[in-house]
Structure 1
Amino acid sequence: MSDTDMTTAVAAAGAAMEQAVSTFMMHPETFGASVAAGYQNPLAGYVAGRGGVLGQTSGAVVASVFVVFEPAGLTALWDEGVAVRGAEGAAQQYWAQTAEFGRKYLANAQGLDRLNALSERVIAAAPTWGVPLFAGWRAMPLAQDAPARALQVMFILRELRGGVHFDALTVSGIAPIEAHLLNKGPEYAQVFGWPEPFPDVTDKKDRYAEVEQATNRRMAEIIGNGLSLAETQELARLSEDALQVLRANVPG
């Protein structure tokens, strides 16, 4: 197995899954479903829903796990969100929304049964230390129909990669606000609640590139425990295909 080929396939699968799940998370239809479920602020529904698998804990703990959100704002959203349905109820509601979004917008995608089978092998083989959101979502029951299940398994694997990335980021010494600036810039940082003035991160570009490389290397090890190189490349193709179907079907 070529290490370069494996990390390339892992990075491609991870990028496609991240974009597919982000499409669900940030779509107005998802926010509308959260409002309909009782969350006056849909961002509170998102925070409580995604973080609900951590249990009835404090906003400070959730902020430490989410890592890249401004902590005070994230804590306020958590407190507002869990007041509606509690942590467990929020997670269940968000999981149902995930399934419904996949069911609606991935219905005509090809290869979903295979995507699900490969993804579930990775999920089953992956360790849970240092990746609490992955551990929590892995324990949630999956939908039985392939389109709903596909978005759910991509969601779980997104949390796995995210947790691995945050672990590497922590070891690097790059602060969350610095990571935003190095990744997508000031506007992206503001979306996550970080206020100006922003620090100069010019001298940390190489270190951030090393974090990305470390994330992909570790993900290649984890996925390699469950899949061969050919299967990982297949997973990447299927994930990219599913993303394209989602983009074609989801209203702008």
Structure 2
Amino acid sequence: MSNNDMVAAAAGTGAAMGEAVGIFMLHPETFAGSVAAGYQNPLAGYVAGRAGVLGEASGATVGAVLAVFEPATIAALWDEGIAVRGALGASQQYWEQTAEFGRKYLNGAQGLDRIAALGEKVIARAATAGTPMFAGWRAMPLADDAPARALQVMLVLRELRAEVHFNLLTVSGIAPVEAHMLHRGVEYTKMFGWPEPLADGADKKERYAEVEQATNRRMAEIFADALDPAEADELAGLSAAALDVLKANVPA
């Protein structure tokens, strides 16, 4: 496998895992589970659950870590969310929801044990400098059963890639609102709390593409430190297949 092949494997794995975990995060069943757990606003449950591994941080700190959200919006949701179960209680609740979603919707996917095993090799070898969310999620105990464990591993790796990407965006000079507009447009950007008028970043398209490429290159380096070429290719293929099963099983 050439360097380009490793980049492709890391990018493919990241895309599949990112979409799979995104389906979990934004699914009505997940929001309903947050409400059932005491979060009147499911978005507050999402923010507290996702960032709770940071501990009893301030809303401003959480906004700095979750760099692509509008700061005042994320701080308000954080404060509302941690009032229910605290920070670590929120992350534990979210971790259990991740496991249950995997058990429910990844059943039937092939190679879930291998996704977990290979993903864990990457997680164990990756440095935590500059990636506090990844460091927090890496410390959480994984479920024993393959469907739950596989989706939890996907979540941890998704946070790793996200923070690598956030760091590269920050040094690129592309504002978070511009990155959203370049990535998916107006409605997606509004979902992250950014108000109109929205800076479109039209003059930074090439720079944004360079950030995406740099993210994939860095993730390929992280993968190469933990996996041999065959394992990296295997993880990419199994992740894409698991995503297909998840999408087929999850109700629209």
For structure 1, the 5+ residue unaligned runs are: none
1:62 and 2:81 matched: no
Worse-matched range after superposition: 114-123 or 199-208: 199-208
Structural mapping, 1:101-250, within 5 Å: 101-250=101-250
- 1:58 aligned partner, one-letter code: S
SS of the aligned residue for 2:226 comes to coil
- Alignment correspondent of 2:46: 46
1-structure distance, mates of 2:80, 2:146? 33
- 1:120 aligned partner, one-letter code: E
Give per-residue Cα distances to partners, 1:102-121, cap 9 Å, x unaligned.
Answer: 01111211111111110000
How many pairs were matched up?
Answer: 252
2-structure distance, mates of 1:54, 1:244? 32
SS of the aligned residue for 1:174 comes to coil
Give per-residue Cα distances to partners, 1:92-146, cap 9 Å, x unaligned.
Answer: 0000000000011112111111111100000000000011110000000000000
- TM-score, length-scaled by structure 2: 0.99
1-structure distance, mates of 2:198, 2:214? 26
2-structure distance, mates of 1:118, 1:173? 34
- 2:112 aligned partner, one-letter code: L
How far apart are residue 200 of structure 1 and its match?
Answer: 4.0
Structural mapping, 1:24-43, within 5 Å: 24-43=24-43
1-structure distance, mates of 2:149, 2:103? 8
SS of the aligned residue for 1:225 comes to helix
- Alignment correspondent of 1:23: 23
- 2:24 aligned partner, one-letter code: F
How far apart are residue 227 of structure 1 and its match?
Answer: 0.4
Worse-matched range after superposition: 59-68 or 198-207: 198-207
2-structure distance, mates of 1:189, 1:16? 21
Root-mean-square deviation (CA), in Å?
0.7
Q: Retained in 1: the 8 A contact 2:180–2:188?
A: yes
- 1:16 aligned partner, one-letter code: A
Q: Retained in 1: the 8 A contact 2:182–2:200?
A: no
2-structure distance, mates of 1:187, 1:92? 30
2-structure distance, mates of 1:31, 1:191? 15
2-structure distance, mates of 1:200, 1:110? 41
- 1:140 aligned partner, one-letter code: M
1-structure distance, mates of 2:201, 2:191? 18
Q: % of aligned pairs identical?
A: 71
Alpha-carbon spacing, 1:60–1:233, altered in 2? closer, same or farther (3 Å): same
How far apart are residue 203 of structure 1 and its match?
Answer: 1.1
How far apart are residue 229 of structure 1 and its match?
Answer: 1.5
- Alignment correspondent of 1:95: 95
Give per-residue Cα distances to partners, 1:41-93, cap 9 Å, x unaligned.
Answer: 00000000000000001011001111111110110000000000000100000
Q: Retained in 1: the 8 A contact 2:119–2:154?
A: yes
For structure 2, the 5+ residue unaligned runs are: none
SS of the aligned residue for 1:69 comes to coil
SS of the aligned residue for 1:47 comes to helix
2-structure distance, mates of 1:150, 1:114? 8
1-structure distance, mates of 2:103, 2:48? 22
